[in-house]
Amino acid sequence: MKGFLKNPARLVPLAFLIVILVGTFFLMLPIAKTGEGAAPFLTALFVATSAVGVTGLSPVDTATYWTGFGQGIIYILFHLGGFGIMSAATLLGMVVSRRIGLGRQLLLQAEARGIAAVDVRSVLTFVLKTALLVEGLSVLVLTWRMMAVGEPFADALWHAAFHIGAAFTNAGFSNYSAGYTLFSSDVIAQVPILLAIGIGGLGLPVLHDLRRGRRAHWSLHTKLTLLGSALLTVLGTLGVLVFEWSNPGTLGGMAPWEKVLNALFHSINTRSCGLNTLNNGAFSEQTMMMTYALMLTGAGSAGTGGGIKVTTVMILILALWSEMRGDPDTTAFRRRISPAVLREAMTVTALSVAVLMGATMALRSVTDLPLNHLIYEAISAFGNVGLSMGITGALPPSAQWIIILLMYLGRVGIVTVATGLALRHRRTDFRYPEERPIVG
**pLDDT tens digits along 251-260:** 998 999 999 9
**So what's the pLDDT on residue 123?**
61
The pLDDT of residue 110 is 36
Whole-angstrom distance, CA of residue 122 vs CA of residue 128: 10
d(CA 115, CA 128): 16
pLDDT more than 90, % of the chain: 53
Q: What is the pLDDT of residue 122?
A: 64
Per-domain residue ranges for the chain? 2-423
What is d(CA 148, CA 183) in angstroms, rounded to the nearest whole number?
13
CA gap 435, 86 in Å, rounded: 42
pLDDT score at 108: 40
Smallest CA-to-CA distance from 115 within 87, 141, 138, 137 is with: 87
Distance CA 184, CA 12 (A): 38
Alpha helices in 99-219 (DSSP H): 102-112, 120-148, 153-168, 187-202, 204-212
Instruction: Give the separation between CA 269 and CA 102, rounded to whole angstroms.
Output: 40
For residue 365, what pLDDT is reported? 96
Question: Where is pLDDT greater, at 126 or 404?
Answer: 404
Handedness of CA 438, 341, 273, 209 (dihedral sign): negative
Cβ(201)–Cβ(303) below 8 Å: yes
Question: What's the pLDDT at 181?
Answer: 87
56-77 tens-digit pLDDT: 999 999 999 999 999 999 999 9
pLDDT, tens digit (0-9, with 9 covering 90-100), for 365-376: 999 999 999 999
Give residue 344's pLDDT.
84
* Lowest mean per-residue pLDDT among 99-108, 156-165, 330-339: 99-108
The pTM (predicted TM-score) of the whole model is 0.87
Above 90 in pLDDT, residue 16?
no
- Average pLDDT of the residues in 302-314: 84
Report the distance separating Cα 297 and Cα 277, nearest Å.
21
pLDDT value, residue 424: 58
